[in-house]
Amino acid sequence: MSQTDRSQPPKIQPIGIFPLPTPRKSSLDNGIPIYYFENPNLDLIHLLIQVRTGSLYQPKKHVCNFAYSLLRESSPDFSPEELAEKLDYYGTNVTTNVGMDHVQMLISIPKNNMGDILPVIARFATCPEYRTANLRIMQDKELKNLAYNEQKTDYWSWRLMWREMLRDTFPTVAEYATPSSINNITVQELESFHRDSFCAENVTIYVTGNTDDTVEALIRECWSGIPNGRRAPQLPGIHAPENQSRPICHPMPGCLQSSIVICSLSMGFNDPDRRGFSVLNTLTGGYFSSRLMQNLRERQGLTYGISSSSTFFGNQSVFAISSDVKAEETQRALDSCFEELQRLQDEPVGKDELAMVKNYIAGLQLRAIDTTVNIMQKFAYWLRFGLNESEMEQYLTEIKHITPEHIQHLARKYFSYNNFTRIVVGKDLSNE
């Protein structure tokens, strides 16, 4: 029997471009839009409750995270232990993710158990009763996490980055977490924030699975109880830090490594450059064979890994390159990063390298929509920015036709040295 030659990669197959199905839209009595992604073969019903709120909307640090993370512990009808047992008995999972400009509650329930458990979930999500004892448990947990994280260079590097980017516009996010800021949260503040943010004007619901009239009627009954209120306003824009001539350093003597972040204020998700920039980002540090990985890891051995990514919120984003590097080679690592950024500005990327990145991105996108649950989650993300299911087709089409010249144009537009703030935690470079 012949053996596979594993020294040769398989042939790359072209990926076709195809439209995604359009979800069926309905609305609840309180005006909440609801999108159904039909899947008659999926008897595990998935709901995504998306709320237009997040840490950028909070009046005080930690309030949003505490208010939504404590929902499961705040049932007006059951203790946390009783609720956990009930969810487990009915095979139900509830997770909450708190972002900068949105909160998501992800719920999965066997179809046959919907009538028994969905009203229970809707009740604590809509009418939580926060308890001082549960708040204290979460505060103690956050205090331990803070004490642990403050020993880590990468924690400080991201902390410094968000302080520099957000402190003038969103001080409650930019300010450092401290034992005092954690301990000063009250039950009354959680109640007030939940009441103001969890209203029909801020909620969108997504559902996938083998739904029928009974399931839809139950969903309508449970979530029509979300009260009306005031829609969260559009987030104000932030401004890039003014003085970027020297790196922002946070020395940690004795560290064997430094954590570096090179960041810049960048485009919003609806910007015409966004899709092309995603290719540039992937080339730069967005996958294992990126320029930065090949230079800093493979050729120079300065790091185990380096990556780049964009964080989108409101009508903007922050682009960041981050890595943990040998402390004694901190400046060399920074210089090497900017050398790669400059090379992308000076030289058109090779066609073979660009083709590999295009195929990588296309494959990544296909894996991101391989189930109706994933399609639902992607659609929910796009809808946050006013887009719909056509985004996938438009994205793949644009990626397919992007040229080396356009990549070079984007690099010149966004990768200028003066656009970037440099954060260094570990070695002190302030006097170099």
pLDDT in tens, the chain (432 residues): 567 777 776 776 667 777 899 999 999 999 999 999 999 999 999 999 999 999 999 999 999 999 999 999 999 999 999 999 999 999 999 999 999 999 999 999 999 999 999 999 999 999 999 999 999 999 999 999 999 999 999 999 999 999 999 999 999 999 999 999 999 999 999 999 999 999 999 999 999 999 999 999 999 999 999 999 999 999 999 988 876 668 899 999 989 999 999 999 999 999 999 999 999 999 999 999 999 999 999 999 999 999 999 999 999 999 999 999 999 999 999 999 999 999 999 999 999 999 999 999 999 999 999 999 999 999 999 999 999 999 999 999 999 999 999 999 999 999 999 999 999 999 887 666
From the list 120, 119, 46, the residue with the least C-alpha distance to 83 is: 120
What letter would DSSP give residue 216? H
2 exposure class (CB count in 10 Å sphere: 0-12, 13-18, 19+): exposed
Phi–psi pair at 93, nearest 5 degrees: -120, 135
Q: Helix 404-414 to helix 330-346 angle, to the nearest 10 degrees?
A: 130
Position 231 scores a pLDDT of 97
- Helix, strand, or coil (residue 258): strand
pTM (2 decimals)? Answer: 0.93
Residue type, 367: R
Position 7 scores a pLDDT of 75
Domain covering 248-426, topology: Cytochrome Bc1 Complex; Chain A, domain 1 (3.30.830)
Q: What is the distance between the alpha carbons of residues 307 and 281, in angstroms, rounded to a whole number?
A: 9
From the list 37, 103, 35, the residue with the least C-alpha distance to 68 is: 103
Q: 94: which strand partners?
A: 107
Beta strands 33-38 and 203-209, pairing class: parallel
What distances in angstroms separate CA 256 from CA 158, 329, 425, one per listed residue?
18, 10, 11
What letter would DSSP give residue 52? S
Q: What is the CATH number of domain 24-223?
A: 3.30.830.10
What letter would DSSP give residue 350? P
What distances in angstroms separate CA 244 from CA 236, 310, 321, 421, one per listed residue?
22, 19, 16, 5
Q: Decide if 262 contacts 321 (C-beta within 8 A).
A: yes
Q: What is the distance between the alpha carbons of residues 294 and 284, in angstroms, rounded to a whole number?
A: 10
Q: What is the DSSP string of 300-341?
A: T--EEEEEEEEEEETTEEEEEEEEEEEGGGHHHHHHHHHHHH
Which residue ranges does the chain devote to CATH 3.30.830.10? Answer: 24-223, 248-426
Q: What is the distance between the alpha carbons of residues 174 and 338, in angstroms, rounded to a whole number?
A: 26
Phi–psi pair at 239, nearest 5 degrees: -120, 145
Position 149 scores a pLDDT of 97
What distances in angstroms separate CA 316 from CA 17, 89, 204, 319, 388, one per listed residue?
28, 43, 22, 10, 19
